[in-house]
Structure 1
Amino acid sequence: MHFELGFVLLFSIATAVAIAARYFKFPYTVALVVAGLTLGVVHAFEPPHLTKDLLFAILLPGLIFEAAFHVEFRKFWKNKLAIHALAIPGVVAAVGVTALILSPVVGGLDSVRDFGFIHALVFASVIVSTDPIAVVGLFKALGAPKRLAILVEGESLLNDGTAVVLFTLIVAVAGGAHFTVGGATMDFIRVAGVGALIGGGIGFAISQVIQRVDDAMVEITLTVIAAYGSFVVAEHFHYSGVIATVVAGMLCGNWAASTSMSPSTRVAVESFWEYLAFALNSVVFLLIGLEVQLGSLLASWRPILLAYVAVVAGRAVVVYGVSALLRFTPERMPWSWSAVLTWSGLRGAISMVLVLGLPEGFAHRELLVNMTFGVVVLSIIVQGLTMAPLLRRLGVSGLKDVYQEKYELARGRVGAIHAALTALEALRRTRDIPADVVEQLERDYQQKAAAAEQELSALKQQTNRFHEEEHQEGVRRMLIVEKDALLKAYQRGVIGKEAFEHLVAELDERLAKVKDPEGHVPLEQSSPSLPDAA
């Protein structure tokens, strides 16, 4: 079958699966994998194979850039300790724990001979990266806390790069290369650090160009260059293309898009990347199902099950360990979130491509391939299908009732209408639009504002909780303003260090009593660092 016809069939199947998944309220990515497995069993057609070239040249840069583009850096940075702990030392620890659990149990099977710790390490480095696409959509649909979604997405963005670098180092050691902890650490820092510099340089350059043009098609093209260019350049020089693309995506999404793109251009750019992510994810998850040979997996069911248990146990040890350490920081989280983070660690295409990249003569290669494919499929199907019940059981879902949805719609309308009225006032001053047109538009929007505010007021009269939420949000914002004013007064020398610390401690105590709407322990409780009051 021609390559082009294969992709047309993939997109046709993905469209049908998307429609069916929406109708039956079934997780889309899980449905794609099941559809791929079914088509693979009946040998309906010969699809394109999920190779390293296909993933690295076409699929991976687009998926990573889209995810990084939509991550709000401010929220990402507020959770930097948790994200970096899970994605860098956490990944290293997960590889070690998984290998320690796995090597004796798989090596003890009668059907497996000479499966040692180094082979378990190779498998652990292959399987350690997570792919949360199947669960992040559920988080949004079920109203899970936004901070929890940021933790899952942020960790996944960084742990892909960590996993690829670790895999390269461990396979080299398995092949006889000399290993030292110091040397491996320096190699990791060099590969990841220079990758970040390359991504930052390309993202900065693209952002500068975007500032100087105002054409939606050109700016979409520039973001595509940033996504694929940063990945290709970093990989060409043997640095981390994943980290480069993450940095470039966050720069373009948080700087170029917010400061340089017009509203219409930003809508066009975001729509393009949302569609591209949908298309690429459809291809990836279908190919995962099509690539799996069920007969081969069934023959290796014992090591696959043992590997799956070891992977989940290794992740649980790391997540709960990091959560325990975070209890002593402002980024602490509920223990129920630790359970969700453990179970949301689904595995995806990167693991499959890495294991297929092992040399043909590598010891236990076939077993490692079967274990990886089996764990990927089990994680997507088992964890993907049980995530929603787990969220509900732990009380993390926060499903919205009818009043909550109506309230959010009304509040959104009020905010949008008042933003339009503010823009009309600016147009009146600049005279870009004739005064009579501005006046007519103002009258229309004022009528809309009155209707929206009346609807909002009626909803607030039906229950006190909306007023309480608004009051808490207002109090929290004002306390943050007070802290900022105190810091500026201290920097100017208006108040001394003792007075500053005393007043900030009072504000911290008041902030501790205010509930954060995203379920975050207020970071503002921690006192700001004391600069010199020069």
Structure 2
Amino acid sequence: MDGTHLFELVIAMFLAIIALHYLAHRLGLPPSVALLAGGAMLAFVPGIPAITVDPELVLVIFLPPLLFDGAWSIAVDRLKRHMFGIASLAVGAVLFTTVVVAVVAHLLMPSLPWAACAALGAIVSPPDAVAARAILEHVRLPRRLQILLEGESLLNDASGLVLFRFAVAATATGAFSTVSAVGTFVVLAAGGAALGGVLGFAWVKLVLRLRDDYLMIAATTLLCWIAYLLGEQLHVSGVIATVTAGLIASWHQHTVMSAGTRMRGTSFWTVLVFLMEAMVFILIGLSLRDIVERGGGFVALIETMTFPALAILVALIAARFVWVFGSDLVVKLANSLGRARSAPMGVGAATVLCWAGVRGVVTLALALSLPDDFPERDFILVISFAVIMGTVLLQGTTLGVVISWAGLGEAEVERAPMTMSQAEAAMAQVQFARVKDLAYDHEGTLIHPQLLARYERRATAIIDYAERTEDYAPMLHAHFDVVLEAVAVGRSELIRLHRVGQIDDETLRELERDLDLEELSAISAKA
């Protein structure tokens, strides 16, 4: 396929993404499910060339920005608070699931070497960051549960990759050392964290010197790929390096970026991540054609692979349930002895945590990266794809139902010491105090009376609202509904004046930008 046809195919995929997202919205389906199914159907449309996925290229293109975006948006304070639980999922659950799947695979196919069974376990064990983001964006969970899932999806790829590489090496050499594997994992993780820290702080210094919105956004975009690629070149964890750099950049972006940079950067990243996440699921679906051809066709695959695929899928889900509920039981026992720092999640939250373990692009990329002479490579490839399809279609479509059953849809189990209204009141008091200092000249003459009165009224109103939120909420919503109506009318008038030639394009854009900011502020205040 030449470059022109490849570009045409990419454009066609983007159009398919828009159509499938719209269809998912109309049908009430998770977009990931529609994209995966749509890609699978597109794979067999006559005239569309077979898509061969380069696993290394897929990981390099898609994984760094999606991991970086997850690290950028995650709540760092809660990440630190729940690091033990996240590590339990990202390392312990991945290792346990690898062992369980390896045992089941060996029972299904005794001729398959144990190391190859472990490779299959390592391929399917880590829930995918892209799939998890796609699912979590459309559900509402308690903050503790949300941070556990987000943190796990950021870090478990590192443990899965290490296990996979050791399993492949053991298959080739026939030797495996647990001590060596643990030591290598520690070195890779520590090295990746150190590299990410250096690059993160280097980004802070660079952004402070750039002083240009577009250069700052470009430097931030490149940081994720630099961290990942440099990590892989230095033989440390590129995943950990990318996540660490993203966490540091996120922590400092409030002080090194202007409001305009953040608004433009957020808009850019939102579109970029949307297209990349969608493209991942389309590519997974398109790869079905190659999987089917390798397996001898649909009929042969269904006859020979249905039972093994279901067995592995059940083992995968069961292993996560055993690990999560077992960990929760340990926390409960520690609580009864007065030695636990956190409360157990309970049956409902633990069930949701188990059911959200969706697999995706990392599983497919690892399976495709197996050497051509690897034992039962096609069997492992088909099982891996079946696991992706099974978890996305089964768990992805029913997660909302499970959340409703667990009664977690609107639950908020964690509260910060200060509410948003109280924080806004504290901010308003400081702002008023500063304006009051600057409202008088050196001789004590009031030179900004209207500005002072405005900030005084604002501080008084916000403090009063913070103390009586429930009483004022309906009036506040009505107030901002009027503001939004006024913005809409103002925008219509601007457009009318522009269309009849009374104002030029520059005036239209400048005044419309002011209206856009006012509209965003009103929408944010209502929320």
TM-score by length of 2: 0.77
Q: Is the 8 A contact 2:35 2:285 kept in 1?
A: yes
Residue type matched to 1:350 in 2? V
Within the alignment, does 1:163 sit opposite 2:171 as a pair? no
| Aligned pairs (5 A) from 1:14-25 | 14-25=17-28
From 147, 150, 168, the counterpart of 1:150: 147
From 341, 365, 390, the counterpart of 1:330: 341
| Aligned pairs (5 A) from 1:85-234 | 85-104=88-107, 106-107=108-109, 114-131=111-128, 133-134=130-131, 136=133, 139=136, 141-176=138-173, 178-234=175-231
Q: Secondary structure at the match of 2:173?
A: coil
Inter-partner Cα distance in structure 2 for 1:70 and 1:203: 15
From 426, 434, 446, the counterpart of 1:426: 434
Deviations 1:185-206 (A, max 9, x none): 1122122221221111111111
Task: Measure how far apart 1:444 and its partner are.
Answer: 7.9
Sort the Cα spacing of 1:337 and 1:437 in 2 relative to 1 into closer, same or farther, 3 A: same
Q: Is the 8 A contact 1:135 1:387 kept in 2?
A: no
Residue type matched to 1:360 in 2? D
What's 1:265 paired with? Answer: 261
Residue type matched to 1:363 in 2? P
Q: Is the 8 A contact 1:417 1:449 kept in 2?
A: yes
Task: Measure how far apart 1:420 and its partner are.
Answer: 6.0
Q: Is the 8 A contact 1:132 1:345 kept in 2?
A: no
Residue type matched to 1:316 in 2? F
Q: Is the 8 A contact 1:102 1:307 kept in 2?
A: yes
Inter-partner Cα distance in structure 2 for 1:157 and 1:121: 22
Larger deviation: 187-196 or 323-332? 323-332
What's 1:41 paired with? Answer: 44
Inter-partner Cα distance in structure 1 for 2:389 and 2:275: 20
Q: Secondary structure at the match of 1:163?
A: helix
CA-atom RMSD in angstroms: 3.0
Q: Is the 8 A contact 2:367 2:381 kept in 1?
A: yes
Q: Is the 8 A contact 1:102 1:310 kept in 2?
A: no
Task: Measure how far apart 1:290 and its partner are.
Answer: 0.9
TM-score by length of 1: 0.76
Q: Secondary structure at the match of 2:408?
A: coil
Q: Is the 8 A contact 1:3 1:48 kept in 2?
A: no
Q: Is the 8 A contact 2:425 2:463 kept in 1?
A: no
Inter-partner Cα distance in structure 2 for 1:273 and 1:172: 38
Inter-partner Cα distance in structure 2 for 1:72 and 1:430: 35
Matched residues, percent identical? 27
Sort the Cα spacing of 1:452 and 1:386 in 2 relative to 1 into closer, same or farther, 3 A: same
| Aligned pairs (5 A) from 1:511-522 | none
What's 1:470 paired with? Answer: none
Within the alignment, does 1:52 sit opposite 2:47 as a pair? no
Deviations 1:250-300 (A, max 9, x none): 11112x213322333223333322222111101101111111135454352
Inter-partner Cα distance in structure 1 for 2:129 and 2:149: 7
Inter-partner Cα distance in structure 1 for 2:123 and 2:186: 19
Inter-partner Cα distance in structure 2 for 1:49 and 1:438: 63
Inter-partner Cα distance in structure 1 for 2:52 and 2:468: 54
What's 1:80 paired with? Answer: 83
Inter-partner Cα distance in structure 2 for 1:432 and 1:160: 58
From 366, 371, 377, the counterpart of 2:383: 371
Residue type matched to 1:319 in 2? V
Q: Secondary structure at the match of 2:141?
A: coil
Q: Is the 8 A contact 1:87 1:159 kept in 2?
A: yes
Residue type matched to 1:355 in 2? A
What's 1:465 paired with? Answer: none
Q: Is the 8 A contact 1:82 1:326 kept in 2?
A: no
Sort the Cα spacing of 1:164 and 1:382 in 2 relative to 1 into closer, same or farther, 3 A: same
Deviations 1:492-521 (A, max 9, x none): xxxxxxxxxxxxxxxxxxxxxxxxxxxxxx
Task: Measure how far apart 1:455 and its partner are.
Answer: 9.0
Inter-partner Cα distance in structure 2 for 1:277 and 1:415: 31
Q: Secondary structure at the match of 2:43?
A: helix
Task: Measure how far apart 1:21 and its partner are.
Answer: 2.0
Structure 1, unpaired ranges of 5+: 109-113, 401-410, 463-534
Q: Secondary structure at the match of 2:44?
A: helix
Deviations 1:105-162 (A, max 9, x none): x126xxxxx2243322110011111125555565565432011111001011110111
| Aligned pairs (5 A) from 1:348-427 | 348-398=360-410, 419=427, 422-423=430-431, 425-427=433-435
Q: Is the 8 A contact 1:417 1:445 kept in 2?
A: no
Inter-partner Cα distance in structure 2 for 1:94 and 1:67: 24
What's 1:507 paired with? Answer: none
Task: Measure how far apart 1:427 and its partner are.
Answer: 4.9
What's 2:308 paired with? Answer: 303
Sort the Cα spacing of 1:450 and 1:324 in 2 relative to 1 into closer, same or farther, 3 A: closer
What's 1:71 paired with? Answer: 74
| Aligned pairs (5 A) from 1:467-506 | none
What's 2:507 paired with? Answer: none
Q: Is the 8 A contact 2:106 2:114 kept in 1?
A: yes
Inter-partner Cα distance in structure 2 for 1:459 and 1:42: 57
Deviations 1:88-117 (A, max 9, x none): 13211221122123311x126xxxxx2243
Inter-partner Cα distance in structure 1 for 2:359 and 2:201: 32
Deviations 1:172-191 (A, max 9, x none): 00101532221121122122
Residue type matched to 1:330 in 2? R
Task: Measure how far apart 1:18 and its partner are.
Answer: 1.7
Task: Measure how far apart 1:216 and its partner are.
Answer: 2.2
Sort the Cα spacing of 1:324 and 1:102 in 2 relative to 1 into closer, same or farther, 3 A: farther
Inter-partner Cα distance in structure 1 for 2:358 and 2:237: 22
Sort the Cα spacing of 1:19 and 1:398 in 2 relative to 1 into closer, same or farther, 3 A: same
Sort the Cα spacing of 1:143 and 1:323 in 2 relative to 1 into closer, same or farther, 3 A: same
Residue type matched to 1:164 in 2? L
Within the alignment, does 1:280 sit opposite 2:291 as a pair? no
Q: Secondary structure at the match of 2:269?
A: helix
Inter-partner Cα distance in structure 2 for 1:90 and 1:457: 43
Inter-partner Cα distance in structure 1 for 2:47 and 2:438: 63
Within the alignment, does 1:289 sit opposite 2:292 as a pair? no
Sort the Cα spacing of 1:188 and 1:453 in 2 relative to 1 into closer, same or farther, 3 A: closer
Sort the Cα spacing of 1:43 and 1:61 in 2 relative to 1 into closer, same or farther, 3 A: farther
Q: Is the 8 A contact 1:199 1:246 kept in 2?
A: yes
**Count of residues in correspondence between the two structures:** 445
Sort the Cα spacing of 1:398 and 1:156 in 2 relative to 1 into closer, same or farther, 3 A: same
Inter-partner Cα distance in structure 2 for 1:78 and 1:11: 39
What's 2:321 paired with? Answer: 316
